[in-house]
Amino acid sequence: MDRDHLLIERFVKGDAQAFDALIHEHSPKAYGLIFSFVYNRQDAQDLSQELWLIVYRSLKSFRFHSSFYTWLYRIAVNLCIRFLKRKKTALLPDDFDTVELNHTKVIESKETLREIYGAVNKLPDKQRAVFILRNYQDLPYEEISRIVNISVSSAKTNYCYAVRKLQNLVSKDVLL
């Protein structure tokens, strides 16, 4: 039994500190995932709050059919998709919190970032999810397939399509 499993069992039995430990362990990565969808610090923080509240309220019904991490990411991805839909996916380039993005990089790459993120936002939901999980979270296809609840081959196909679409959307002069 892994550490997450033990912590969840302790939490279900009433140990509040076990939940604190889960948050400390997973919230930075979950925040990173959310940020890679919404590109905005404030939105990412709000969605992180929402994510963990959902987890807190539903952890008792978690049946360990997947790892906790997969389950957490699955909720996070769906929250992000729902959030972007509410925003009508109208993340205009000006909305991008570019000061936050790649803080180590200089301002001249701002336009490039805007162009790339703008293009990613034009992808259909599932392709975007697979692209972000693969490219920005470096997850293996097996893990992506579990998070998005599709087959491994679907994950690969969606990734190939996403990249092909992005190649058409992003102008050649932003390439390295």
Binding site for another protein (CB under 8 A): 19-20, 23-24, 27-28, 31-32, 35-36, 39, 41, 44-45, 48-49, 52-54, 56-62, 74-75, 77-79, 82, 100-103, 109, 112-113, 116-117, 124-126, 135-136, 141-142, 145, 148-154, 156-157, 159-161, 163, 166-167, 170, 174-176
Query: Residue 5 or 171: which CB sits closer to another protein?
Result: 171
Query: Residue 6 or 124: which CB sits closer to another protein?
Result: 124
Query: Residue 7 or 48: which CB sits closer to another protein?
Result: 48
- CB of 113 vs another protein, minimal distance in Å: 6
Query: Residue 62 or 69: which CB sits closer to another protein?
Result: 62
- CB of 25 vs another protein, minimal distance in Å: 9
In Å, how far are 10, 56, 93, 105, 147 from 22, measured between CA atoms?
A: 11, 10, 35, 32, 19
Decide: 120 and 91 in contact? Cβ < 8 Å. Answer: no
Decide: 29 and 147 in contact? Cβ < 8 Å. Answer: no
Decide: 123 and 165 in contact? Cβ < 8 Å. Answer: yes
84: amino acid identity, one letter: L
- CB of 6 vs another protein, minimal distance in Å: 19
- CB of 89 vs another protein, minimal distance in Å: 15
- Six token digits for residue 175: 């390439």
Q: Going by C-beta distance under 8 Å and a sequence separation of 6 or more, which residues neighbour residue 159?
A: 127, 130, 131, 134, 141
- CB of 148 vs another protein, minimal distance in Å: 6
Query: Residue 5 or 42: which CB sits closer to another protein?
Result: 42
User: Please, which contacts does 113-117 make with residues 24 or more away whose CB atoms are closer than 8 Å?
Assistant: 115/170, 115/171, 115/174, 116/166, 116/170, 116/174, 117/39, 117/91, 117/93
